[in-house]
Amino acid sequence: MKVFLVYKRSQHDIYIEHDNPRLNWFIERHAKRYSESADQQHRTLDAVIKELGHQGISYEAVWRGDIKGQIAGVDAVVVVGGDGTFLEAARYCKGIPMVGVNSDSRPGGSQGFFSYFSIDNLADFGRFVDGQLPVTRMDRLRAELTDMFLDKTIVHDPLLSDVSIAPMPNDVVKYIIRAGTHEEEQTSDGYILALPQSSWPIYTYHGAILPIGQGYLQGVTRGIAGDRFRQHYDVIVAKFPFEVESLSREAVISFDGKHKSHDFGHGKTVTVSISKQPLDIIGFDDARRLKEYAVKREPRVLSISQHSPRYKGNAQPG
């Protein structure tokens, strides 16, 4: 067995490497916080490498920022980090299963939503090697960003989590949503087009709790400034593609995080649909996802496809 090992570097290590006086001062000021996190991540990575050797698994280890091109020629991708590292590695992973190891599972550490392992349960790593862990096939997104004025399109495919539209500082964003036969104009603090496994719209913006791997998308209005702009706009759930057209002079659109961002001003549209390249994630705990989400307020539903699931509570599909 051969795996591709993708790991996260701590902020402490990255800041120190820059040898910047301001960063050095900052690290010294918050030494306990950053050094403890760095130590925990070092211990976890060392433990994973030791376990790979114990299991007789060959590996190539690469920092997430040094991945070059599509990952190939391995049986699995092992990610040591948080969800950001997992999403970054997934960009380069097609047709290869992934398994996550949360590098800092302490309270306040890395968000390990996609991770089955942490330093606390690496003794069970043999279950991964022996194929005893469940495998969840997750949908991914295909996003087509089009400049209608220039007649040019940029494609991001596949994406594991979401597409986010945000305004410039001290501004709002204006746009038109088209989903199936539904169309509406909104002004808000931003908009998220997300898959069910994306935790951001659930935790922060009262998004819908949807089944994984069944072709659902949801559009969630961001309300950073409370209900000022959200009060008339609710969650849109559908199985058909979403299209969002910008009505703003300036805005930003990001794909699976801020590392892939573009201008989203006048003349720009994004069409988001389900990618034809799903991803198999080893050991994903959907029961934990549902348990954590259960404490969140159910969304009101503005528009929903006829095949969408019914919600508990006050959410009534229209």
User: pLDDT of 74-121, one tens digit each?
Assistant: 999 999 998 889 989 999 999 999 999 999 887 766 777 899 999 999
Residue 201 has φ and ψ, to the nearest 5°, of -65, -25
Residue-level pLDDT at 54: 93
In this prediction the pTM is: 0.81
Give the tens place of pLDDT for each residue, 159-215: 999 999 999 999 999 999 998 788 888 888 899 999 988 877 766 666 778 888 888
Give the tens place of pLDDT for each residue, 264-302: 999 999 999 999 999 999 999 888 777 777 665 554 444
Residue-level pLDDT at 118: 92
Cα distance between residue 120 and residue 97, in whole Å: 22
Asked whether the predicted pLDDT for residue 57 surpasses 70, the reply is: yes
Sheet with 152-159, edge to edge strand ranges = 152-159, 141-147, 268-274, 242-246, 173-179, 182-188
Q: Where are the domains of the chain?
A: 2-133, 141-278+286-304
Q: Which CATH number does 141-278+286-304 carry?
A: 2.60.200.30
Contact 158, 94 (CB under 8 A): yes
Cα distance between residue 79 and residue 103, in whole Å: 9
Task: Give the three-state DSSP class for 90.
Answer: helix
Q: Which CATH superfamily is domain 2-133 in?
A: Probable inorganic polyphosphate/atp-NAD kinase; domain 1 (3.40.50.10330)
